[in-house]
Structure 1
């Protein structure tokens, strides 16, 4: 299995949970599910709350599919408020 390095960018509550705006993460399995596990391990409950109600922009496509393959970038987006 080949490791994949991805750029993860955090917005709003996700940035607060991570304590940063972005970082580079190397994953053994480049999927949304593997990234979710890695982020939960790194940042705990605050990030789990964001991921539970937010979404991922994977290589410029919104995805909630845990099996989606990540090629280069992921934006972790909190739920958006609006009216």
Structure 2
């Protein structure tokens, strides 16, 4: 199971701060979370940055480590 931490607008769209989800890749994770929480979160996930165990992950097809922590960071306004 992956531990998902939502931040800012992603947290508001998901309606939770943290949850556990099973997924093999970020692509699978984003689809699962969109199905679970709705298209509003899905739109945020398309533009979000992902940290996997504290490291930025850009490859959404790469396999995720077992029991990883995934931080979902939506784009932030400001400087």
Smaller-chain TM-score bracket: 0.7 to 0.9
Give the structure 2 partner of residue 7 of structure 1. 3
2:61 maps to what in 1?
67
Greater alpha carbon shift after TM alignment, 50-59 vs 13-22: 50-59
Structure 1 runs not aligned, ≥5 long: none
TM-score relative to the length of structure 1: 0.83
Match of 1:23 in 2: 19
List gaps (5 residues or longer) in structure 2: none
From the two aligned structures, give the one with the greater strand fraction: 1
Q: CA RMSD in A?
A: 1.2
| Count of matched residue pairs | 77
Asked if 1:37 corresponds to 2:38, the answer is no
Corresponding residue of 1:50 = 44
* Length-normalised TM-score, structure 2: 0.87
Runs of 4+ aligned structure 1 residues displaced above 4 Å come to: none
